[in-house]
Structure 1
Amino acid sequence: MSFRIKRPLRTVSLLGAACALVLTGCTTGGIDKPRGNGYKIERVQSENASERVRFLVMHFTTIDFDHSLRVLTQPSSAPVSSHYLVPENNDPTYPHDDLRVYQLVDEDRRAWHAGPARWEDRYQINDQSIGIEIVNRAHCHPPVETSTEEIGEEICFFPEFDPEQIDLVIALSKDILARYPDITPTRVIGHGDVVPQYKIDPGPRFPWQKLAEAGIGAWYEEEAVKRHMDYLQGNTSSDRESIRRRFAQWLADYGYGIDPETASEDDITLYTRAFQFHFRPWKVDGEVDNHSRAILLALLEKYFPSKLSGYPELKGTLVAELDNRE
C-alpha cells in the first residue's frame, strides 16, 4: 500500500535552495586528507545539531581517595567510572599537598556513573551527561534484622564537605557549563535525583544553594516560597491522596522521573525524599507537606513559569498574581 503526501513544489534541492538564499552561508570547510581506504571527506558545517552533553551529575564516593580512584579506573565485575574525581583534605590516602581535579574519562566519552537513571524525558543519562565524583565518606548502617523482620530504620552519617573541595567543584563545574550550554540550571542534578530507588548522593550536606549562588544549578527564591506557603495554607479543601498525586505531577514537570498516574504511595514518598535531599535537606521525611510543596512551586515558577497555569488547583488568585508580575 502506498500513500501520496502533498508537498510544496520544489525546483531545487534543500541544499541548493539554502545556498541560493544565502550565497555565503554554504561554503565548505575544506577537504580532509584521504582516509585509510583512499576516499576523501569534505566538511560542511550543519546548523542542525546539538551537544551530546545535556546533564551534569554530582556524586559522593563513600570511600577514601585511594579506594575511589581504584574503583573508578580498574576493571571489576561491576565496573563504574566518572569523568572527574575531586579529592578532599585530610585524607591520608591522597598523595599531594594541594587538591587537584582528576580527570578519569574524556568528556566526549561515555562514563558509567548514573546507571538506570531518568531525568526529564531522557533515560540514557550516561550517554548525555558528565559525572563528578566527590570524595566524601558518608555511610549508612542497615536496619537490624531478626529471623522474621527488620527492626528500626537505616541510619546514615553524612560528613560535611571540605570547603576547599567544594570551591574546586565550583570551578570545575563552571568550566563544564561554559562548554555545554545545554546544561541548564535544572539539569545540574544529583545521583539521588535521577535514581532515587537506589541512591541518595551527594546527600543532605552537599551545598546546592552555594553552587546555585555561583551560577551552577537551580535554587528557589525565599519570597516565592513564602507566597506559595500563604496560598497553600489558605487552601485546605484537598484530601491527602489528591495532594500527593498533584505533588508527583509537579515533580515530573520539574524533571523527576516519576509517572504521576501510575506511581505508588512508596514511589511518591521516595521521590519526595529525593527532592528534599536536594532542596530541603534539614528535614528529609518523604512527607508531602506545605513547605515542600511551596518550594517546588517556587522552583517551577522560576524555571518553568508556563507550567503553573496548567494546574487547575492554582488557577485564580495565585496565577493571576504571577501573571501581573510578568
Structure 2
Amino acid sequence: MPDEVKWTFPGATAAILPSLRTLCGNDEGKLKTTDNGNGSFDCVCLVPATNAPAGSSSTTAASGADSAPTSSSAIVSSMIAATATPTNFDYNEHLIPLKSGHSISKGWTSWTGHEPKGVTWHWTAGKTIESCRELLGGPDAKRKGEASAHYCVGRSYDEGVDIYVGLENRSWHAGVEQKLRWDGKGSNSHTKGSRSTIGVETVNVGYARSGFPAKSDWIEVADTNCKWVMKVQPWTDEQMNMMIDVGKRIIARWPQIRVRDHHGHHDICPGYKSDVGGFDFARLLRGIYDDDSIFDVWTPLQSVESRQRALIELGYDLGKWADDGHWGDYSAKALEDFQRDSNSTVIGYWTTFTNWAVYDAFEVKGLSLSNLSN
C-alpha cells in the first residue's frame, strides 16, 4: 500500500476544513484548498495511508459536507461517494484575473437565474495542454480579453487538468455565431455560452486535416450539416476519467445541471464549429452521474445513413434516395419537418438536441435507436 493516497473534496464548506486537516495528519502542506467564493472550497488532501480506508486509492469525494465529522472514518463515510472516480492526476491552477481586459466575467446573470444552465464541451484542436494554457490560461494568455474556458483536460494523468476560471464566474468560451442555447432553443446575446454555460476544453487535435492525418482508430462522424464526414481523434481512457472527475466537480457545485444539459460547441454553434463531433458523451455522462442506464443517443446517429434511416422510421419521405448517405433536398426537408413536429428549433442542422428529440420520438413509437446501424 502506498504511504499516501489522494482524496479530492469538491464543494466542501468551511466547517469541514478542520477535519480535513486532521485527515491530512495536520500537515498544512498536504491540504490544498481553492476558495469558490460562495462559502465552499475545492480541497485536495494527501491522506496518510493509515487514515484511508483499507484498499482505497485516490478518490473524489461526494460534495456538500456542511458539518465536521469527528474522525477520519466519519469523514470518509460522510463525504466519499460509493462509486468514486480515480484522481491519479493534479488540478493545476492558471487562473485568469477577475479584472477588466481579461476573458472572465463575475458571477452568473439574472437571465439564467444566477446559475449556469449547462456544460459546453470543446476540443482544443492542438496536441498538448501547454498549448491551450498559453492561449487561454493565466494573466498573460495569448488570447487575453478574447477567449477562455473554465477547465482544460489533458490527454494523460501526467498532463492533468488546468483550471482557468472558477465555477462561480463565467468564462468566454462560446457565443460567436451561436444559434442555439443550452436546451436547444434559439439563443440571443443574453443566453450565449459565455453567459450561460460552463466551458471545458479537452486536448484533442479534432478532425483529420493537413498535418494531422487520421489513424486507424479515429472516429468517423457526420458533421451537423450532414454533408461532411469527419474523422476525429479519439479521447484517451485517462482523459475520459479526468473529464468524469471534472464533471463531478461541476455538478457537485451546480447540481441543477442534468444529463441533457451537456452538449458540444458544435451543438450550439452548428455550421460554425465542429467540436466535439464524435465525442463519447454516453461514457462521460454515465460516469459523471453514476448511471449506466443513460442511453447512448449519439453513436447510433453518427452517420448520414443512420440519420436518414431514423427519419424514415419516423414516417418522413426521403424520396427514391432514402438512406443513400447523400444529404440532399429531401433529407434536409425531412429534418426540418421533424424539428417542427417535435417542437424543436427549426434550424436544419443535426445536433445533440436532435438526437434527444429522435430518441424521444422513437420511445413513443416503441422503436430502438440501436437498430439504425443494422
What's the offset of the Cα at 1:178?
Answer: 2.9
Q: Which residue of 1 aligns with 2:167?
A: 107
2:152–2:201 contact (8 Å) kept in structure 1: yes
Gaps of 5+ in 2: 1-111, 211-226, 320-327, 368-374
1:220–1:298 contact (8 Å) kept in structure 2: no
What's the offset of the Cα at 1:180?
Answer: 1.8
Q: Select the structure that is richer in strand.
A: 2
- Aligned positions, number: 212
Q: Which residue of 2 aligns with 1:71?
A: 135
> Structure 1 residues 298 and 51, CA, compared in 2 at 3 Å: closer, same or farther?
same
Provide the TM-score with structure 2 as the length reference: 0.46
What's the offset of the Cα at 1:215?
Answer: 4.8
> Structure 1 residues 299 and 140, CA, compared in 2 at 3 Å: closer, same or farther?
same
> Structure 1 residues 99 and 136, CA, compared in 2 at 3 Å: closer, same or farther?
same
Q: What do residues 138-182 of structure 1 show as CA deviations (whole Å, max 9, x unaligned)?
A: 24538xxxxxxxxxx988552221111110101110221232233
Cα RMSD (Å) of the superposition?
Answer: 4.3
> Structure 1 residues 249 and 219, CA, compared in 2 at 3 Å: closer, same or farther?
farther
Q: Which residue of 2 aligns with 1:214?
A: 287
> Structure 1 residues 105 and 246, CA, compared in 2 at 3 Å: closer, same or farther?
same
Q: Which residue of 2 aligns with 1:248?
A: 336
Q: What do residues 13-66 of structure 1 show as CA deviations (whole Å, max 9, x unaligned)?
A: xxxxxxxxxxxxxxxxxxxxxxxxxxxxxxxxxxxx944200101011011221
1:87–1:165 contact (8 Å) kept in structure 2: yes
Are 1:54 and 2:117 counterparts?
yes
In percent, how many aligned pairs have the same letter? 20
What's the offset of the Cα at 1:100?
Answer: 2.4
Q: Which residue of 1 aligns with 2:23?
A: none
2:119–2:199 contact (8 Å) kept in structure 1: yes
| Cα distance in 1, alignment partners of residues 143 and 115 from structure 2 | 27
Q: Which residue of 1 aligns with 2:194?
A: 126
Show structure 1 runs of 4+ deviating over 4 A. Answer: 153-157, 215-218, 229-243, 249-256, 295-298
1:60–1:136 contact (8 Å) kept in structure 2: yes
1:72–1:80 contact (8 Å) kept in structure 2: yes
Which structure has the larger Rg?
Answer: 1
Residue of 200, 203, 207 corresponding to 1:135: 203
What's the offset of the Cα at 1:232?
Answer: 4.2
> What SS does structure 2 have at the residue aligned with 1:88?
coil
What's the offset of the Cα at 1:135?
Answer: 0.7
| Cα distance in 2, alignment partners of residues 301 and 178 from structure 1 | 31
Matches within 5 A, 1:1-326: 50-63=113-126, 64-73=128-137, 74-76=141-143, 79-89=146-156, 98-116=158-176, 117=178, 118-119=180-181, 120-121=184-185, 122-123=187-188, 124-141=192-209, 157-204=231-278, 206-215=279-288, 219-220=295-296, 232-233=312-313, 235=315, 244-248=332-336, 250-251=338-339, 258=345, 260=346, 268=348, 271-272=349-350, 275=351, 297-301=357-361, 318=365
Gaps of 5+ in 1: 1-48, 90-96, 143-152, 280-292, 309-317, 322-326
Q: Which residue of 2 aligns with 1:149?
A: none
> Structure 1 residues 134 and 243, CA, compared in 2 at 3 Å: closer, same or farther?
closer
> Structure 1 residues 168 and 198, CA, compared in 2 at 3 Å: closer, same or farther?
same
Provide the TM-score with structure 1 as the length reference: 0.52
| Cα distance in 1, alignment partners of residues 264 and 276 from structure 2 | 6
Q: Select the structure that is richer in helix.
A: 1
> Structure 1 residues 253 and 83, CA, compared in 2 at 3 Å: closer, same or farther?
farther
